[in-house]
Structure 1
Amino acid sequence: MTMSRRSLLQAALAAPAVIGFARQAHAAQTLKISHQFPGGTVDEGDFRDRLCRKFAQELEKRSNGGLVAQVYPGSSLMKTNSQFSALRKGALDLSFYPLPYAGGEVVETNIGLMPCLVTSYEQAAAWKKAPIGRKITEIMNAKGIVMVSWVWQSGGVASRERPLLSPEDAKGMKVRGGSREFDLMLKAAGAATLSLPSNESYAAMQTGACDAVVTSSTSLISFHLDELSKGFTSGQGRSFWFMLEPLMMSKTIFDALPKPQQDLIMQIGEEMESFGTEGAKADDKQVEEVFRKAGAKVVVMDEPTLGKWRTIARDTAWKDYANRNATCAELLKLAEGMA
């Protein structure tokens, strides 16, 4: 069929608009990733920052530039405690965030730092695809959050004076535990507790407001707590402190993306999990060397000592959490089944 002169003219006039629309459709979507940890590079620094940068690198590469992510370390984009709420509202795209920090807003998330509940990386890794993991994913989706990467970290204790190893050691100490449930256990052991993000731990120890900090091995290194400590309890091997620290995305932002981009985000997120576990385990070893080199007395938790803490945790933290609501009770029961 031969086109008329009018048809050719109309097609020519419409072409720039069509081309413009096509360019807009393929324009890069820029995502912002926020976290509270020190910044570095893809190859050096805190592994949590590196994980975010590797995720961003792979995302841009495999989307052919369709998805670009910028990493904002050190709470430089927004304050630590504001990030979870911002994700839920769609005001932040992604955050590598300690899940129990959200406990004041979504009480169920405190399962991510329940003392003595998770005691190994193998047990932790099994959560994601088990009923407990599916339930957490369901809860988070309902709250406007997509779990992109599941990362667990073991933790230790940095102390200004004597090591905090057994429940008897806690008496009279001012301790940062990291969650409501951890604080309940510590209080039952005779400690006073204070609530603050791990990136504020150095200042608290420096001023004497805090005698001991319980946090991940990586944070103990990155925030230089060895400079203020004479005692250190290692999280390598056995630990009463395991935290779920996922890379999370706003469901509002996620749902607005095309399905292929959603699938790519989840695929890369899952691939990052092995990197996260390897980084956490490496830091469990390195942190002992760092504190020993700084002159701190390094102690390791054995099974009988862990058992003492578990007895206290069951009677305080676990019981309190289960009584918060029916969903918490269900989560705890599912988690106990993973032991």
Structure 2
Amino acid sequence: MATPPKLLIAASGTGGHLFPALAVAATLTDYEIHWLGVSHRLEADLVPQQYPLHTINFSGMQGKTPWAKLRPLWQFLGAFWQTRQLLKRGQFQGVFTTGGYIAAPAILAARSLGLVAILHESNALPGKVTRALAPWCTVVALGTPASLPYLAKRKANLRVTGTPVRPNILHPGPLDLPIPPTVPLILVMGGSQGAVAINRLVREAVSQWLAAGAWVVHLTGQNDPEATAVQHPHYVVLPFFEPMGPLLHRADLAISRAGASALTELTLTGTPALLIPYPYAAEDHQTVNAQVLVSAGAAEMIPQAQLTGDRLGQIILEWLRQPQKLQRMAANARRLAVPDSTQQVAGLIRSLIPPVEP
């Protein structure tokens, strides 16, 4: 009996990297999948119950001076060698990565062995690794056509596929929260790591929304010691919530960071959003992400530095009083959606690393 092809998936760090990779992996049931990650990141919690996890010691190439870069450069060389040995020893047919710093040793190790390297970039502004290594990849899949100008001068094989999402986003079941079906629902989410700054603004504003009859589901993340400072029966505070699909479909509007995966989910569920980009994101890429939705009329954006709790409260109250505005934003969001993105990316992998014929 023929053995299935072996694929190494390199995805590490945040939900923005992990969830698209997990969505693609779930469709490749006729492949033997292994995972490349870092021992102290989110993948250590999410991956081992599904796929073998191989970890490397690598934390990127940060450093402002030549001396400060020596240690990460040495780390990179070690990560490259470890990954190359893993690919060679394990007889893998290729690598699929969703970007970030772990993509660099994965792509270069694969290409040094003549193996397929497939990269998916979800951000509108491609990351530094993507911009540098796109020409080395067999194919680069893009989450949005807004990325094309940034890579136009690279001699790379580019495909716009959208960004894969968790299955429950597309096929939501019932919402397992005791929220009445007719009340306005505001969803606050700061990404897989939470957003303490947004949490503080929401706690200052939430009394206005509750007084207007709205319910609020606030996903705070696990790093906010004041998460439960405000108590109200219509204010549901959770560190995280899974599955997100039913919650996004039920929400009348969302207050969100502007990570690429979150924005993809907002478009697929047609959820109007006020976007507050993370101000310290690399190269301010969340602002570039947000601008794609803003330009399409699917969201509005306000920099964190320009917000107070009172201003946030008033903006959301105005939105709740304008249901037609929310309906327009929802329709515009859905026009940006790519519902078959997971199948498109999986199809690229299948075309380059064909599965075994039954």
Higher relative contact order (CA 8 A, sep 6+): 1
TM-score normalised by structure 2 residue count: 0.30
**TM-score normalised to the size of structure 1?**
0.32
The structure carrying a bigger helix percent of its residues is: 1
Q: Which has the larger radius of gyration?
A: 1
